[in-house]
Structure 1
Amino acid sequence: MARHDDRNWPTWTKMIGLLCLVASILTEHEASGQRVKVEPEVSSYPGQTVNLRCAFTDATGVQLTMVTWIYEPKDGERMNIAVFHPNYDPNYPESPVKGRVSFAQNPPNLNSPSIQISDVRMTDEGRYVCEYATYPSGNEQGITQLVMLAKPQNSASTVTVVAGTKPVVVARCESADGRPPAKLTWMTTANGNSTLVEKPGADNTVTVSSEYRMIPTAADNGRDISCVVNHRTQVKPESFPMKLTVQYPPKVTIVGYDNNWYVGRTNAVLTCQATANPAPYSVIWKTMSGIAIPETVQIKNNELKVLKVDESVNTTFICEVMNRIGTTRDQVTAIVRGTRRPEKGPTTGTIIGAIIGVILLLAIVGTAIAMYRKHRANKLNGDGPPKYKPPPPKKKNNTANRPVHTNPAPVSDSTPLQSQNYSTQSPPEPVTDLDTYNDDEDAGAPEYGREHYYSAAPSGWDDPGNSEVPPPYMQTNPDRRDHNSGSNINHGDSFVSEAMFV
């Protein structure tokens, strides 16, 4: 493997050396091309003096022999216009700029051989090359583009056309004698297209013209259209707003007939409405039958007024309008009725609408009143949740209904029946308040022993779970009340009765 790498090493060395050589050649060429310093572009107006600067920036290791300025017109052959050798005087060969071109310094400086051209013309536009003859690198050069500017004369106008079916020119725009050529654009809502033509003008200028073409219609008359000119000599684009001019014959419409001409009606009016370009110069009223206009009819310009309707106006009226483009007419047939037709004017519709509105308003008000009364009745009858907090329950004294125990001693089987005390009054059905009982007992009694103990059983007894029976209840204090007798739980008339042994 190592031997294989050793064999390939000279090949890589050759490739790297070749790349370095090419890079050095390109670098040297680029560096040498940049040593002649000029301005890429210079612009000027006719009649001015323009300076074309040139300098050799780094002459280290190079001997400058001679400098030559060369003119390359846009159309034509290149030519020498100025030559300078340090051992000789400057020379200006035959050229279009001879007599107007000279070196900027006198005597010229080989390191900075700039030139100037006075009274420049539009034909002086082109490329100007500053070329050095050096040793040992040879010739080196820099190129400057001279751009001649001429502010154009801009104009735009519309063309009066007649409505038709073929495309015609409706507007024109022109930018004359400008340099460089101007750019023309159209802005409009009209449906058409434009053409652009460039023509050479005087003194190497250019005239640019554009035409807008479309099929003109009556609807296009008065439509907006603008030509916008852009040129290098202008600070901002120049716009020419215009309106299209399309001529068309009259468009005629007769209005005013309501199909309700009855005998005896007065002041019935027909109006002949017409639009045209140019404006109409004649409006003529006549009848279809060709008979003369009745005496009860008055005509004033485009208005026909029937003073009193009768059978003589039961005819077809024609309005004929003329302008320079053509003649157009419209007609209406008047039918005279014996009686008046009922009219459904805006008053009838207004009354009907008002009646419907009143009915809807009354229905809404009635519904609101009914809902309010129902809500108030429910509120008075107690329906719904209470609006106040109820008072706490009061303790009731039910000692009158309790049985009186006269014999506190336990009762045995040997006791005579008559000595036993019974209550003859039937007490109300006892209702045990388990919640109250549990609240008092849960505090001290365990959960597992609750089923074995009485509520009044003294503490300290043995667990009855060992088959022991607790002793009978003995009341030692007649005034003592069961601790559950005063539970103030109001469940209607319910209460917890005292324990009673029989």
Structure 2
Amino acid sequence: MAPNGSLPSPVLLLLLLLLPPLLRAAPQTPRVSVSPVVSGLLGTDVQLPCHLAPGEVEVQVSQVTWLCDNQRRDRSSIAVFHPTHGAGFPSTGPGAERLAFVSQSQSPGSKFHDASLIIRDLRAEDEANYTCEFATFPGGNSKGTTWLRILAEPENHAEAHEVTSGPAPIAVATCVSSGGRPPARISWSPPSVGRSNESRTAGPVPDTFTVTSCLTLIPTAQMNKKKVICRVEHETLREPKQLPVLLTVKYAPEVSISSSDEDWLLGQQEASLDCAAQSHPPPLAYRWSTASGSLPPTAVSEGSKLVVSSVDWSANATFICQVTNAVGTGWASRTIRVRGERGPRGSRGRTEAEGTLGPPPRADSWDP
């Protein structure tokens, strides 16, 4: 060190002159702002944002390049912008007819900090990684990458199949989501209603998918007109699509017999029995008979109704109603006991009614 009052040495002066440049921070690399993931619908246009973020040091853009990294082809340059020469699109897929810079209409020589790219008429093969790279001076190169996902909204419908009741499981409804990308997700509610079988095939447009779900269950009479819901979920839908379906199960008549009066009295006028049948399709014919075969002389069959004009001891019988539809035949019986004096050898009784199911007896009276 120089003595007090003496001038600094030449070496010290040189160090003092070089110190500011050494302490000055090196130019920072500019930051490129992009969206990590962008989704676009098949056949529509999409914009891939890319901006050069402002920094502490002003930089000059030398060139902007967009690169496409697609699994189906090698990484390639698809779009270039030069501040002096303007935009160029060296790739054929997608090419100049489907590409454009958002800011490419600005005059040559102006600052170019917005390199957002438009891709028109999206196709499935456009799904890829797209890298936006700025070449700047003196900051060097900076880049950001966006994954472009191509989506397609599916068309959805559901329908019931008319089936016949039986012991074996069968498909009772089908739900189809056609032309989606990616494939839609289908479920049925209530979940306990049956079992679903799902298949996936190619959609009507290349690189789309059609998903078909069949609801399978054991068809019973109780399942007829039961409402189930096909639920379709897809990324393009704001909320799941709910498709209601009314099941259609054909079944043979389920029959019951009711009486106009709880008790029938000897000599009573206009006693009757009503035969009710639940079935799909509707009943075609009603047949009335008794366990012994023939109807009492005073009984008249009027379709689903049996009218006894005057109650006598012949009405003390088991009446049978047999109902037929296109699926099969069902029947029920009801026992009537006439209450009244039979005579010296008779006894008092009361009406008792009951319904049973079993092999249909011989029908005595037939009414369509």
Shared fold (TM-score greater than 0.5)? yes
How far off is 1:179 after superposition?
3.9
Structure 1 contact 188–224 (Cα < 8 Å) conserved:
no
How far off is 1:110 after superposition?
6.2
Equivalent residue, structure 2, for 1:41: 37
Local SS of the residue matching 1:95: coil
1:267 to 2:270 alignment: yes
Q: Distance in 2 between matches of 1:257 and 1:343?
A: 15
Which has the larger Rg?
1
Q: Distance in 2 between matches of 1:156 and 1:74?
A: 36
Alignment match of 2:100 (pick from 93, 99, 102): 102
Higher RCO structure (Cα 8 Å, ≥6 apart): 2
Equivalent residue, structure 2, for 1:144: 146
**Corresponding letter in the other structure for 2:99:** V
How far off is 1:64 after superposition?
6.6
Q: Distance in 1 between matches of 2:99 and 2:56?
A: 26
Equivalent residue, structure 2, for 1:81: 78
Local SS of the residue matching 2:122: coil
Q: Distance in 2 between matches of 1:170 and 1:269?
A: 40
Larger % of helix: which?
1
Local SS of the residue matching 1:119: coil
1:290 to 2:288 alignment: no
TM normalised by structure 2 equals 0.70
Alignment of 1:63-462 (within 5 A): 66-73=63-70, 77-84=74-81, 90-99=87-96, 100-103=98-101, 104-105=103-104, 107=108, 111-132=113-134, 140-188=142-190, 191-201=193-203, 202-256=205-259, 261=264, 263-291=266-294, 293-336=295-338, 339=341, 341=348
Local SS of the residue matching 2:219: coil
Query: Residue 259 and residue 130 in structure 1: after superposition, are their counterparts in 2 closer, same or farther (change >3 A)?
Result: closer
Structure 1 contact 123–203 (Cα < 8 Å) conserved:
no
How far off is 1:257 after superposition?
8.6
Structure 1 contact 267–307 (Cα < 8 Å) conserved:
yes
Q: Distance in 1 between matches of 2:291 and 2:350?
A: 29
Q: Distance in 2 between matches of 1:157 and 1:177?
A: 18
Equivalent residue, structure 2, for 1:423: none
Q: Distance in 2 between matches of 1:134 and 1:327?
A: 88
How far off is 1:60 after superposition?
5.2
Local SS of the residue matching 2:276: strand
Identity %: 39
1:52 to 2:48 alignment: yes
Local SS of the residue matching 1:240: strand
TM normalised by structure 1 equals 0.53
Structure 1 contact 49–118 (Cα < 8 Å) conserved:
yes
**Corresponding letter in the other structure for 2:189:** M
How far off is 1:326 after superposition?
0.7
Aligned residues, how many? 313
Structure 2: any 5+ residue segments left out of the alignment?
Answer: 1-25, 343-347, 352-368
Equivalent residue, structure 1, for 2:364: none
Structure 2 contact 159–175 (Cα < 8 Å) conserved:
yes
Output one character per residue of 1:464-501: Cα deviation in whole Å (capped at 9) or x when no partner.
Answer: xxxxxxxxxxxxxxxxxxxxxxxxxxxxxxxxxxxxxx
- Give the CA RMSD over aligned residues: 3.7
Local SS of the residue matching 1:204: coil
Local SS of the residue matching 2:225: coil
Structure 1: any 5+ residue segments left out of the alignment?
Answer: 1-27, 345-502
Query: Residue 330 and residue 343 in structure 1: after superposition, are their counterparts in 2 closer, same or farther (change >3 A)?
Result: closer
Query: Residue 190 and residue 76 in structure 1: after superposition, are their counterparts in 2 closer, same or farther (change >3 A)?
Result: same
